[in-house]
Amino acid sequence: NAFGFAVNVRDARLLRLLDKALAVVPDEARAAIVRRWSVERPDVAEPAALPLTAIQRQWLAGRTDLRVLMDPRFVPVSYRDDQGRFAGVAADVLQQIARRTGLAIEVIESTSLTRMSEMIERGEADLIAAMIPSPERQTRLAFSRGYLSSSAVLVTREGGRGSVSLEQSRGK
């Protein structure tokens, strides 16, 4: 499962711009973001040039900010730090995109993925900071290339009563 940015399905230009920006984030910067959220805290490299088409440059020229929906409870992907600033893996990746596009990030909080999806559809926001694509979601939203992979993990008590499977845990 890879987290990506979710945008309005009718906003192909923004989606292509995000994918281009994600594509030029150097491997070292990606690794630095991942390390920052695990053990180390490295500096991020200078931004690489962003190769844009004329249509993408025109779209970008008409914008000053990117309205980003985030769930502040989704630590460490998106949350508010002690000073109330947008923080987390998604914030770090969006900071890289902002540096390359010149767009300011306007953060809008919501704790409901359904409400976030509706806000994107109504044009009240540009993207959702972190969402895993699903067939149902892909009928309503378009997804950028993934920027963070996550695996499902089942944790049980040591010395518990036999083995436990995901199927046995369904609904609990």
Q: Confidence class of residue 44 from pLDDT cuts 50, 70 and 90?
A: very low
Check residues 162 and 90 and name the one with the higher pLDDT. 90
Of 57-71, 81-95, 122-136, 145-159, minimum mean pLDDT range: 145-159
Q: 22-40, pLDDT tens digit by residue?
A: 888 888 887 778 777 754 3
> In angstroms, rounded to a whole number, what is the distance separating the alpha carbons of residues 171 and 53?
48
Q: 144-162, pLDDT tens digit by residue?
A: 998 888 777 667 777 766 6
Q: 97-123, pLDDT tens digit by residue?
A: 898 888 999 999 999 999 999 999 999
- Mean pLDDT taken over the chain: 85
pLDDT beyond 60 at 46: no
- What letters, b where the CB count within 10 A reaches 16 and e where it falls short, cover 51-67? ebeeebeebbeeeeebb
* pTM score over 0.75: no
pLDDT beyond 70 at 59: yes
Cβ atoms of 60 and 118 closer than 8 Å: no
